[in-house]
Amino acid sequence: MTEHLLDGVLLLAVVGLVSGLARRIGFLAPILLVVFGIILSFVPGWPQIRLDPDLVLEGILPLLLYIAAVRTSVPAFRSNLGSISLLAFGHVLFIAALVGLVLHAVVPQIPLAAAFALGAVVAPPDAVSATAVARRLRLPRQVVTILEGESLVNDATALVTLRIAVAAATGLAVSWGHAGRELAVAVLGGLLIGGAVALLAAFLHRRTNDPLLDNTISLLTPFLAFVPANYIGASGVVAVVTCGLYLGHRRPGLVGPDARLQVDAVWRVAQFLLEGTLFLLVGLQMRGIVEELSFDWPLVVAATAAVAGAVVIGRFVWVFPGAYLPALLRGSTGRLPAPIANVVVVSWAGMRGVVSLAAAFSLPLTFPGRDLLVWIAFVIINVTLVGQGLTLPRLVRALRLRSDDPRADLLAEAEIRQEALRAAHRCLEHERGNAPEYVVERLRSWAEDRANQVWERLGDPHHEPPTEAFRRLRLSMISAERHVFVKARDVGRIPEEVLRQVELELDLEELMLARGRLEEEI
């Protein structure tokens, strides 16, 4: 028990150090963590920590999927549902079949059903990898939505396909009709259970005003959706994603501001630690996987190269027709439905991650060619995550792919802020009662100042806007005030309780003034 605890503390310490180094040198933390894990796996005396597939697929994956789903825009998801569906269902099945055929052709001693199982393992781009890499590159919003939407749903298709392929490879009779019914039950069952749990969680959130209880409900929700769905043979992935999308969309009316701040802070820490640990664990499996290989290296290299080519090239083969063929079949002419640069980036950004490795480790120990399949899955993760992840920024620059115009966002925000200001003024007049006039005027002026901040950001970039000057100076003042209170506590002029209360007030004001920084860092 103590040994496992020490291993866990050591992992978290390495995650923190490597992630901090990545931020300092401007490197993508997921890639550096994987590389660092590979190096550590060969360091003499370093503990060989094996990745537990059940822990990943049933313990960590629901949490990370839920976090990503809650933050996904439902309107954006809905508007790109066609592209997401083509990737999450069609692309996974296409790559699974292509990889199976290619691997069986190169290594005939591996049965076709077992080769299809590997195809299902390496077919889905990973939700953790897509979110971690795509957002940090500030890709266009539509590209990020498609990549994240695909990775949220495709695990369901892949895991059901894997289950069917494993059954066929181990001697069970499986028909196309049975496979289709199993996939339909998995998706529909996941939708129903996820929707039911979402309604239950929303009901509970509305009836509590305690931020700690809201946090507890939020942490339990993904498991309340995943476990029952998984138990009855439905897709726990679809259940969690459905639940997260609904609750994320309804969140403004479900929990109060104090609960939202706490929930966001809890999820931010959880996401940072879980993602970092998973990427590090992927790299740490290198030595054990190599030691278990029983195939000749020339055959291993040939099979790995063939599967890697099928995965990378196969994505282009699927994505480009999927982007343009529907419009051509409808007879649409003129402007292409999607810029070619966007389609190229979506094709290249198919990073695989820990879910693929966990799925490979979940194969039965007596599975045909298991050691080779696990090795290939590991290499595919590194080829796509490290190789494509490292070259993706260069590709984005070469294609001159720009993120969404921030001025367009500011203009849209300015328009809505004016509508919100008018609504606030109407509310103020209706609710003022016998409040003093100077209070009403102060509130009216405060609301107008907030509404005008967006116009200041649209002004001359070479001059410091008044709001920015106010923010900079007020933050300095808060620091000076905090120092005085801490010094007073240290010499016994005020008790600890007074310092904590004042510190909370100053922290909330500082957080409001410094808004936006946290979102830029994650």
Question: What's the pLDDT tens digit per position in 209-268?
Answer: 888 898 899 999 999 999 999 998 888 999 999 999 999 988 888 887 778 878 888 888
Regions of the chain short of the pLDDT cut 70: 1-4, 127-135, 173-176, 326-337, 404-406, 454-465, 467, 514-522
Distance CA(522)–CA(505), nearest Å, equals 25
Distance CA(205)–CA(328), nearest Å, equals 47
Distance CA(391)–CA(25), nearest Å, equals 17
Question: What is the per-residue DSSP string for 134-153?
Answer: HGGGT--HHHHHHHHHHHHH
Number of neighbours of residue 432 by Cβ within 10 angstroms = 14
Give 522's contacts (C-beta < 8 A, 6+ positions apart).
Answer: 135, 268, 271, 272
> Tell me, what amino acid is at 500?
R
Give Cα separations from 462 to 457, 458, 459 (angstroms). 11, 11, 9
Q: Are 134 and 172 in contact (CB under 8 A)?
A: no
Number of neighbours of residue 85 by Cβ within 10 angstroms = 15
Q: Are 319 and 343 in contact (CB under 8 A)?
A: yes
Q: Are 357 and 139 in contact (CB under 8 A)?
A: no
Q: Are 127 and 68 in contact (CB under 8 A)?
A: yes
Q: What predicted TM-score, i.e. pTM, was given to this entire model?
A: 0.82
Q: Are 391 and 428 in contact (CB under 8 A)?
A: no
Give Cα separations from 110 to 3, 98, 114, 380, 458 (angstroms). 38, 15, 6, 18, 62
Distance CA(64)–CA(434), nearest Å, equals 50
Distance of CA 516 to the CA centre of its chain: 19
Helix, strand, or coil (residue 461): coil
Q: Looking at residue 108, what is its pLDDT?
A: 93
Nearest-CA neighbor of 54 among 230, 224, 275? 230
Give 60's contacts (C-beta < 8 A, 6+ positions apart).
Answer: 274, 278
Query: Residue ranges per domain, the chain?
Result: 2-398, 405-462, 464-522
Give Cα separations from 372 to 41, 84, 168, 296 (angstroms). 19, 31, 19, 10
Distance CA(510)–CA(84), nearest Å, equals 39
pLDDT digits (tens, 9 = 90+) for 424-445: 888 888 888 888 888 888 888 8
Chosen CATH of 2-398 out of 3.40.640.10, 3.30.420.40, 1.20.1530.20, 2.60.40.10: 1.20.1530.20
Please, is 348 exposed, middle or buried when counting C-beta atoms within 10 Å of its C-beta (0-12, 13-18, 19+)? Answer: buried
- The C-alpha R_g of the chain, in whole angstroms, comes to 26
The one-character DSSP state at 59 is I
Q: What is the mean pLDDT of the chain?
A: 84
* Rounded-to-10 torsion of CA 27, 32, 35, 40: 130
Q: Looking at residue 72, what is its pLDDT?
A: 86
